[in-house]
Amino acid sequence: MNGGRIRRPLAGPSVWVAALGVAAAGCSSGEAEPPTRISAPQTFSADRVCGGLFAGEGGKALERILESTNFRFLDEKANRDLSSIAQTMEDAYRSGKRIRDMPQPVCEVAGPDKERHIPTVRLMFTAYSKHAGDPVDFPGVSDSGVRVSADGKRVYFSYDCVSPRVGSTADIPLRIKILFHEQWDESKGATALAQDYLAVTHSAALAVAEALGCVDDGGLPARAQELPPSAGAGTGAGSAGAESPAP
């Protein structure tokens, strides 16, 4: 008793003993902390890369170029899948005269690391139309139909898309341009892989045309080997007009 109030302990001896026992048990259990697990990069088969851009012969060609059957993304946030690429093409066309300011989606895929380099293939997609005129550096009005040219490890591919989904018409089609670039110094190069470069690019073009509902698949044949002779590779880089990414 002190001043009419009873002072009570904050905790009895038994509580403190129990608490110390729990702490001691945690410190002296002898069990090692589980190691921190670092997850391996997610890998994909060729037909699943970028949401299905490379089906059939396009996927087989990708395997030959990157010498692997498993692929990964170097920058997952920057990569776009098939659905996103198609939507970006549609949005760009609907933007009218602002089409040249719209994003250019990219699919960049890598194979396993080599001794000095990471085998990488990059495809960039650009939407264009007559809404933006016909500048010398980026043909529009005079650039029509399926056109392909090649320059070393690059392929420039363009075609027209008339689509009810997009709202594009035969008079003002959505023109889709694709720049393929193999970025791997130790590869076999265009001498051995030119047809595979074309197959990969054609596969991506056809996938986007089908996703957008382009009439007659934008004039694209079912197989890269069936492209018309006038669209053969090796005619120079400038006709497709796409920007060149940094190597």
- Residue 89, token pair as written in the block: 């093409």
Mind listing the pLDDT tens digit of every residue in the chain (247 residues)? Answer: 444 444 444 444 444 444 444 444 444 455 556 555 455 668 888 888 999 999 899 999 999 999 999 989 888 788 899 999 999 999 999 999 899 889 999 999 998 888 788 899 999 999 998 877 655 555 555 678 999 988 999 999 999 999 999 999 999 999 999 999 999 888 898 999 999 999 999 999 999 999 999 999 999 999 998 886 544 444 333 333 444 333 3
Q: What is the pLDDT of residue 245?
A: 37
135, 149 Cβ separation under 8 angstroms: no
- Tokens 């692997």, located at residue: 68
| pTM, rounded to two decimals | 0.75
| Cα distance between residue 56 and residue 58, in whole Å | 5
3-state secondary structure 186-234: CCCCHHHHHHHHHHHHHHHHHHHHHHHCCHHHHHCCCCHHHCCHHHCCC
233, 148 Cβ separation under 8 angstroms: yes
Residue in 165, 105, 166, 155 with CA at minimum distance from that of residue 131: 166
181, 245 Cβ separation under 8 angstroms: yes
| Cα distance between residue 192 and residue 203, in whole Å | 19
Q: What is the pLDDT of residue 140?
A: 52
- Dihedral, CA of residue 178, residue 168, residue 213 and residue 195, to nearest 10: -20
| Cα distance between residue 180 and residue 35, in whole Å | 42
